[in-house]
Amino acid sequence: MNALAQDIDGATGISRRAVDAKVAVVLFGTGVVGGAFLKLLGTPVAAPLQLVGVANSRFQQTRTRQLAERGIRDHLNHGGDARDNEALLAALDASDADLRVIVDATASSSLARHHAAWLARGYHVVTANKAANGSSLAAWRELKTAQRTGRTRYGDAATVGAGLPAIATVRRLHACGDAMLTLEGVFSGSLGWLFSTYDGSEPFSRLLRRARELGYSEPDPRMDLSGQDVARKLLILARTAGFRLASDEVVVENLVPEDLRDLAPEAFLAAAESLDAPLAARHADAKSRGRVLRYLARLDQRGHARVGLAEVASDHPAANLCGTDNLFAFTTTRYHAQPLVIQGPGAGAEVTAQALLGDILTLS
Ligand SMILES: NC(=O)c1ccc[n+]([C@@H]2O[C@H](COP(=O)([O-])OP(=O)(O)OC[C@H]3O[C@@H](n4cnc5c(N)ncnc54)[C@H](OP(=O)(O)O)[C@@H]3O)[C@@H](O)[C@H]2O)c1
């Protein structure tokens, strides 16, 4: 049995958990989220965690001295060992830790294809990458089976809503037999910002460029506008709530006109004016009915799932959303008069890295 104590670090005021289980960690991805996770590893709460390997898409490092260096992320950008996943797993095996954890802070589908095999081999997997649990139903089932086979856990908190407790809440409701009647929300910070800022006074394409400059959207905004990322998050939440939903069962409204889908990113931005007139018309229509446009994800109790633009009335929880906040509204058999609502920043390096750390600490 692991003793677990909790106290407060005098200097930082941060709660410090002293856990006697040692945790060996391999980190994939040293970008925005991976970089913030590396910083968290240097804080007192992460004392039980020992980094035994780290990789970006080009290089990796497993040597203790180099891993302990402050600039490991920058060093890896300039060189390191050649990429070899098995060598990273060998570093986990060589550790005398009680728990072995693989952290995936990439968006790589090829890496996500290994999640189930890693779980089955006895490694816990903690991920911000939704390319496994947000893909096919077969892949979702494989993850479940692999956890049973390997007696391991899949830390998925960071795959929806960054640090917000969206999946944890749905999981708890489901475990308590509280059936989901409607699951609804704004699951994309960039689409949330775009439609809460858009009031028809300036062209949508201009807002799109501003969102990109402010770092709210992906470098190629079509990644957000396609709705695919939102659809994956809806799939993850729906499956967690007990709906065995296949990827093609989510109706997705892609806001990118067909003739702009295959253009290079800069060419797309140059041609994005063609979004302006149709969106201005939809905005004016909604306004004439006293409503506003929001890019909503929605699931009903029959398992009908849709992501796309919707008109919402002023008393809808999404109507007053501002900035890049995410919103999750759950109407269940027990939360039926008013939905259970979770709202807050649904992206950001620190909160996402914290969700990864939280999943690891939960394991221990
Ligand atoms: N940013 C957020 O606020 C946020 C919030 C919630 C969830 N997420 C999710 O978190 C994940 C990471 O996001 P990010 O913003 O940190 O992305 P990012 O800044 O683009 O970083 C991605 C990192 O993954 C590495 N990588 C790619 N393929 C790899 C592979 N096969 N093996 C090892 N490393 C690989 C990249 O390596 P290189 O450096 O060599 O390119 C890079 O270091 C994504 O799945 C994203 O959807 C992000």
**Arithmetic mean of pLDDT over the chain:** 93
The residue contributing the CA closest to ligand 1 atom 19 is: 31
* Mean pLDDT of the region 48-74: 94
Ligand 1 shell residues, CB under 6 Å: 28-34, 55-58, 105-108, 110-111, 128-129, 158, 162, 347-349, 352
pLDDT at 9 over 80: no
Ligand 1 atom nearest 106 alpha carbon: 24
- Contact assessment for residue 143 and residue 119, using Cβ atoms and an 8 Å cutoff: yes
pLDDT-based confidence at residue 20 (cuts at 50, 70, 90) = low
DSSP symbols for 182-201: EEEEE--HHHHHHHHH--SS
CA of 55 to the centre of ligand 1 (A): 11
Q: What is the per-residue pLDDT across 201-253, written as a single tens digit (0 to 9) for each? A: 999 999 999 998 888 888 889 999 999 999 999 999 999 999 999 999 999 99
Rounded (10°) angle between helices 32-41 and 349-363 = 50
Strand blocks (E) in the chain: 4-8, 15-19, 23-28, 49-55, 59-61, 81-82, 99-104, 124-127, 154-155, 180-186, 250-252, 291-300, 305-313, 325-332, 340-345
What tokens were used for 22? 């040692």
The residues annotated with a catalytic role in the active site are 233
User: What is the Å distance from ligand 1's center to 164 Cα?
Assistant: 19
Q: Determine the Cα–Cα distance for residues 206 and 219; give it in Å rounded to an integer.
A: 15
List residues bridging with 298 in a β-sheet: 184, 306
Tell me, yes or no, if the pTM score tops 0.85: yes
| Helix (DSSP H) and strand (DSSP E) numbers for the chain | 15, 15
Spacing, Cα 110 to ligand 1 middle (Å): 13
Paired residues of 292 in beta bridges: 312
The percentage of residues in the chain with a pLDDT greater than 70, rounded to a whole number, is 95
Q: Contact at 8 Å (CB) between 320 and 332?
A: no
Tell me the mean pLDDT in the region 160-183.
Answer: 97
Residue whose Cα lies nearest atom 25 of ligand 1: it is 29
pLDDT digits (tens, 9 = 90+) for 274-296: 999 999 999 999 999 999 999 99
